[in-house]
Amino acid sequence: MDKAQQDAMKKAAGIEAAKLVKDGMIVGLGTGSTVRFLVDELGRRVQEEGLQFTGVTTSRRTQEQAESYGIRIVNVDDVEEIDVTIDGADEVDDNFNGIKGGGAALLWEKIVAINSKKIVWIVDESKVVPTIGKFPLPVEVIPFGHGHVVEKLEKKGYKPVLRLDAEGNPVLTDEKNYVVDLHLDKIEKPFELREELINMVGVVESGLFLNMVDEVIVGNPAGPRTLT
């Protein structure tokens, strides 16, 4: 699948998911290139159809894009509950276990997700896999002592790599933490791994989003399919 095909699938998924948003809703808006298409479509509906809803964003990037369309954005602590959160994902298996955090927004994404009545992911076909793990698993760690965390992950055989930007500096999350990507290839026991990681001092969150999502919209210009 080339990038143009993949983008067409992402766009189709974003447009399909935008149909879930109705007047008066509180909507969690994820992060990433697929969500960009979603926000473009929601922005179009706000401007052309007068759609009115309130967004809770999972990154500053998404907030900026949404506000550029005049979408009202509030903080997650300003709402009791979110009606639906629509987000992208890096991988998802048949049991709806997934990996997120390719865009370094995993912590805010998980906080928004757990405060949502319904969670929908929008992906292209390449993200639906039999076993998660080929995509390097992002782990958010605080900068202080991160070298020791990386060393411990290395000793466990998890092949950690500190994520760097184009200038060779550590990528910073919106909480100013670092991201360490684990090159695991296959994650056979995701629940055990999630517990192990979250119990390591210095780890803030992992990109394992296990059995949290209610619906996955797999984009296809010929007609998206929805997994439930």
Q: Which residues are catalytic?
A: 109
Closer to ligand 5RP by CB, 34 or 116: give it. 34
| Cβ contact 103:148 at 8 Å | no
Residue closer to ligand 5RP, measured from CB, 83 or 87: 87
CA 192 to chain centroid, in Å, comes to: 21
CA separation for the pair 199, 201 (Å, rounded): 6
Per the annotation, does 223 bind a ligand?
no
Q: Whole-number minimum distance, CB 122 to ligand 5RP, in Å?
A: 8
Cβ nearer to ligand 5RP, comparing 106 with 216: 106
Contact between 126 and 8 under an 8 Å Cβ cutoff? The reply is no
Q: How far is the CB of 58 from ligand 5RP (least distance, A)?
A: 8
CB 118 within 8 A of CB 215: yes
* 85 annotated as belonging to a binding site for a ligand: no
Q: How far apart are the C-alpha atoms of 85 and 87, rounded to whole Å?
A: 6
Calculate ∠ Cα 87-73-88, nearest 5°: 10
Asked if residue 88 belongs to a known ligand binding site, the reply is yes
Binding site for ligand 5RP (CB under 6 A): 30-34, 87-90, 100-106, 109
CB of 215 to ligand 5RP, least distance (A): 15
Residue 104 annotated as binding? no
Annotated binding site for substrate: 31-34, 87-90, 100-103, 127
